[in-house]
Amino acid sequence: MNINSVRHRLLRLFIGIMVITGLFLLAAYSSPPPDFAGEVVRHNILMEIDASPLFYSEVENFTELEHGLKMQINNYNK
pLDDT at res. 77: 79
Encode pLDDT of 8-28 as tens digits. 999 999 999 999 999 999 888
SS3 track for the chain: CCHHHHHHHHHHHHHHHHHHHHHHHHHHHCCCCCHHHHHHHHHHHHCCCCCCHHHHHCCCCHHHHHHHHHHHHHHHHC
pLDDT at res. 49: 81
Taking only Cα atoms into account, the Rg of the chain, rounded to an integer number of angstroms, comes to 24
pLDDT of the chain, 78 residues: tens digit per residue: 677 888 999 999 999 999 999 999 988 888 777 777 788 888 888 888 877 766 556 667 777 888 888 888 888 877
pLDDT at res. 1: 65
Query: How many residues would you count in the chain?
Result: 78
Each domain of the chain, given as residue ranges in start order, spans 1-30, 33-78
